[in-house]
Amino acid sequence: MSAAALAFQETIAACDSVERSIDEQRKAAWLLERRKHITGTDIAAIFGLNRWTSPIEVYLSKKGALPPKVDNDPMEFGRRFERPILEVYSERLGVPIEFADHWTLYPVPGFPLLGASLDARWLTGDRRPVDAKNTRFKTDKWGDTGSDVFPIYYQLQLAVQMMACDEPDISYVTPASDLAVCFGGNEFARYTLHRDVETDAAIKERAAEWWDKHIVHDTPPEPDGSESYGEFLKARFKRAAEITVPSTAEVRQWVEARAEAKARMATAESDANVAEQAIKAYMGNASAIPGVCTWKNNKDSEATDWRAVTNELAQLVDGDKVAAIITANTQLKPGPRVFRMSSK
């Protein structure tokens, strides 16, 4: 390779590096800005209607106490497929669109507590926002293409996006928002949500109340049964103190509710076990019922009994040296805080 070609490649690589650095800086600024607002993806969570995020996660994120989320496969592919889905939307509907800047948050005019990031907007016409989703399955929560029947957590997100696209200086109110969806990688659908003033008012009221209670006055959201809330309690109250607290009427109600729920779970688990055992008895030595289930052996693995290995090594070498090595590599592990109900 010539010196000129090598220099050109180095220049391109340097430009790419600078561009990535700028992009990371803009992303960091965007994440910081999101902490100051309740966003379209937050609103369903604080209503308790988000499948993936709980109110406690929103609270911790606004407080800067939640580690950045690492993309899993659905998150990564959802982001990667966003543009192709929007391109199909534009072609199918014959509507020109402009792609939004991912690292820009648009506060709602007149109510900046709410804000939204956009995927795209119509370039002409009513300039409605268009959001893209890559979804595995089309469940019964999704209606026919062209309808307004789709999951409530997406409807709330689109409602905030519409509010964020209003232009009060020209008295313009965004009338609708579209959702472009790809199901299973091979089926396209488009849904439309029309503006509803009562929904807007309910969102603003809930957002203001939630922010004042949980962020301004720093009161954590109430327990919601989510795994994230359990992790929050575990991190907040790591060690038990040698104190007790009295029982109250409310505590006794929680105890009763827990016992009833556990009983229902036990009955449901027993019913599930009976059904599973019946399926296995029917299968016998078969490895699968096509389209229904499989019952196969996992790959064989090896397990080493390190205690036995250590004991045998101690017979071959100086036992004191072995003990010293064990001591040097042994650390005290704090015992987990375990919740147990008292027996009656």
Strand ordering across the sheet containing 176-183? 97-99, 120-122, 129-135, 176-183, 187-194
Report the distance separating Cα 19 and Cα 8, nearest Å. 17
Report the distance separating Cα 252 and Cα 250, nearest Å. 5
Domains in the chain: ranges and CATH: 13-216 (3.90.320.10)
Chain segment 55-94, per-residue pLDDT in tens: 999 999 999 988 777 767 777 777 788 999 999 999 999 9
Chain segment 233-283, per-residue pLDDT in tens: 998 998 888 999 999 999 999 999 999 999 999 999 999 999 999 999 999
Q: According to the per-residue pLDDT averaged within each range, which of 19-33, 132-146, 315-329 is highest?
A: 132-146
Given a cut of 60, is residue 202 above it in pLDDT? yes
Chain segment 281-293, per-residue pLDDT in tens: 999 999 999 989 9
Confidence of residue 330 (pLDDT cuts 50, 70, 90): confident
* Residue (of 215, 191, 127) closest to 165 by Cα position: 127
Contact 43, 164 (CB under 8 A): no
Rg (CA), the chain: 28
Contact 92, 188 (CB under 8 A): yes
